[in-house]
Structure 1
Amino acid sequence: MRDLLSHRSAICVARRFASLPKKHLFSVLGILIIVGFVLLGCAPLPTATPVPTPSAEPLGPAAVTTPVPPAAPSGLRSPFDIFIPLIIQPATELLKFLYGLLGSYGLAIIVFTLIIRVVLTPLMMQQVRSQKAMSALQPHLQEIQKKYAKEREKLSQETMRLYKEAGVNPLGGCLPLLIQMPILGGLYYALMNLASTPEFRAPFLWLPNLAEPEGLPYILIIIMVASQFLYQRIMTPPTPTADPQQQAMNRMMQFMPLLFAVMFISFPAGIVLYWVATNIVSIVQQYIIMRLTPEPAPVTISLTESRPQPVTISAPAERPTLGEAFRRLLGAPQPVAENKPAPPPKTTSAPAPGKPSRAKKKKKR
C-alpha cells in the first residue's frame, strides 16, 4: 500500500535527488519518512474490550470479581484517524452519489477520477513550471559537475548558488506530489470500504466483479502497464547523459510499470480501474498543461566566481508531443530532418599577374 501511495512521487523525487548534494539527502529522507509515518499511521488498531459474561452461581464472600477495564476514550486513537472525516468519508459519499446518478460503480470511479484530476490541476501546473525551470538549468548543472567532479564541497556550494541565483527550488516539483499522497490514500481506503457492498460486486465491461482481483488474461493490468509506461515517457523523456547514477536511475524507472503490475495483480479490479483512469487522464492533462504553460524567462547568472562572465539560460527543449510519445512506446524510428547541403559560395577569380584582361585587350586592338 505504501508503494502504491508513493509511486507518483517516486519519479519526481528520484530525479531531484540526483542533483542534490549528498549532505542534504539524509535530511530530506528523514523528513519524508516522518511524513510517511504520520500520514499512514503506525499505531496498532484498538482491540475490542472483552465483556464479562454473567455467572449463574450466586456471588458469595469467596467469589472473585474481575475488574472491568475502563472503556477507551473517544477521539483520535491513531494519526491516521484524522483522514477518516477529512478524506475517506467524503470520498466514499461522493462515490455513492455518483453511483446513484450513473447506476454503475465502474462509471462512478471514472467520473470520480476526472473530478479529482480537475481539482489537482493547479498543483500539476506548479509541477510543470518547476520541471521546465530545472530543465533550463541542466546544461549548467552538468558543466558544474564536470568542473568540480573531485571537489564535493565546492560542487555542493556551486550547485546551491546556481539554484539561488536562478530562483529555482530543486524540490519544487515534488511538493505537489507529496500533497497528493494523503488524497490517494483516502481514495484507496474509500474503494476498499465499498468493495464489501453488493453493488460494488456487479460486473463492469469485461470485469465480472470489481471487488475481486482480475483473472486471466489480465487485460486491465496490461492497459495499466502501457498507460504507466507512456506517462513516464511524457514526464521524463529520454535524454543522453554521462552521469552513471542518472543512467542507472533511468534504467530502474523503465522497470517500474512491471513492478507495479506484479503488485496490482492481487488488488481488487476497482482499484486497478481507478489507477488506469488516473494514468489516462494524467497523460491528457499533462499534454494540455505543457502546451499552456509558458517557457521560463531567460535568467542571467554567473556560474563561478573565477569566471564573472554572465551566462544566459536558454529555454529548454520542447517536450515530446503525444504522437512522438506513442511512437517511442511502439519503438518506431523517429523522423530525421533532411540536412540540405549549403550552396557553394560564389567566388570571382582575379586575372593572373602579367596577363591583361579582356577589356584591356580590346582597347589595345
Structure 2
Amino acid sequence: IQNKYKDKTDERSKMQMAQEMQNIYQKYDIHPFGSMLITFIQLPIMMGMYYATMRSVSVVSGSFMGISLAGTPLDGFKALDIAYISIYVLMVIFYIVSMKLPQWLKKWQDKKDNVKVKKYAQEQTNPMANSMNMSMYFMTAMICIMYISWPMAMSFYWLVSSVIRVCQSLILHKVMNKK
C-alpha cells in the first residue's frame, strides 16, 4: 500500500492510503499502538524489580561465583574487573541477539526454501522494518545506559533471560520447521 501511494502527495491519495491501511488493520485484527502498551507495562515492572533487587538481602550481601551482586558494571569498568565487564558485555550481546535472531532465522529459512522477497518487502525500502529496527536499537541503548549503574544482579537477570530467549527462538524455529 505504501509503495502504491509512494509518489502521490495530494490529500485524497493520503486519505485513500490511510483508509486501505485501516481496512488491513481491521481485517487482520492488528492494533498499531499495541506494542506501545507493552513498553508502558514493562517500565513499572522493571522499576519494581530494581527496587526489590536493591532491598534484597541476597543482593546487598550476596555474591555469585565470587562476583558481588551489589556491585555495578560501572564499578567493574572503573576497576577494570574482567568479570563485571564480561557479564555486562555478554548481557548486551545476548540482548541484541535475542532481538535479531528471529529475523536472522527467517532470512536463513527463506534462503533455504528459495523464497523470493518482493521488492517492497525488502528491509531497505520497508519503512515499517526500518522503524522496528530503530526502536530495537533505541531500547538496547536505553537498557545499556540504565543497567551500567544498576546492581550486577539485574545484569545477571537480563543476561539469563536473553540467553533463554535465544534458546527458545532456536528451539521454536527447529520445531516449526519439522512441521
* Root mean square deviation of aligned Cα: 3.3
Residue 201 of structure 1 corresponds to: 61
Residue 16 of structure 2 corresponds to: 154
| Structure 2 CA distance for partners of 1:242 and 1:192, relative to 1, 3 Å | same
Counterpart amino acid of 1:202? G
Q: Deviations over 1:306-343 (max 9, x none)?
A: xxxxxxxxxxxx8xxxxxxxxxxxxxxxxxxxxxxxxx
User: Are the counterparts in 2 of residues 225 and 258 from structure 1 also a CA contact under 8 Å?
Assistant: no
Rg larger for? 1
- The CA distance in 2 between the partners of 1:163 and 1:260, in whole Å, is 31
Q: Deviations over 1:64-93 (max 9, x none)?
A: xxxxxxxxxxxxxxxxxxxxxxxxxxxxxx
1:264 to 147, 158, 169: 147
1:163 to 19, 25, 29: 25
Residue 112 of structure 2 corresponds to: none
User: Are the counterparts in 2 of residues 227 and 280 from structure 1 also a CA contact under 8 Å?
Assistant: yes
**1:188 pairs with 2:50:** yes
Offset at residue 260 of structure 1 (A)? 3.0
Offset at residue 267 of structure 1 (A)? 1.4
- The CA distance in 2 between the partners of 1:259 and 1:183, in whole Å, is 15
| Structure 2 CA distance for partners of 1:255 and 1:165, relative to 1, 3 Å | closer
User: Are the counterparts in 1 of residues 54 and 60 from structure 2 also a CA contact under 8 Å?
Assistant: no
Offset at residue 148 of structure 1 (A)? 2.0
Offset at residue 262 of structure 1 (A)? 3.6
**1:230 pairs with 2:97:** yes
- The CA distance in 1 between the partners of 2:47 and 2:93, in whole Å, is 23
Residue 212 of structure 1 corresponds to: 71
Residue 279 of structure 1 corresponds to: 162
Offset at residue 177 of structure 1 (A)? 5.8
TM-score (norm 1): 0.34
Offset at residue 161 of structure 1 (A)? 0.6
User: Are the counterparts in 2 of residues 210 and 269 from structure 1 also a CA contact under 8 Å?
Assistant: yes
Offset at residue 279 of structure 1 (A)? 1.1
Q: Deviations over 1:270-316 (max 9, x none)?
A: 111111112112222344455667xxxxxxxxxxxxxxxxxxxxxxx
Offset at residue 259 of structure 1 (A)? 5.1
Offset at residue 225 of structure 1 (A)? 1.1
Gaps of 5+ in 1: 1-143, 294-317, 319-365
Percentage identity across paired residues of the two chains: 28
- The CA distance in 2 between the partners of 1:173 and 1:287, in whole Å, is 23
Gaps of 5+ in 2: 108-121
Per residue, is there more helix in 1 or in 2? 2
Which structure carries more relative contact order (alpha carbon 8 Å, separation 6+)? 2
- The CA distance in 1 between the partners of 2:60 and 2:71, in whole Å, is 10
- The CA distance in 1 between the partners of 2:43 and 2:172, in whole Å, is 21
Offset at residue 201 of structure 1 (A)? 2.2
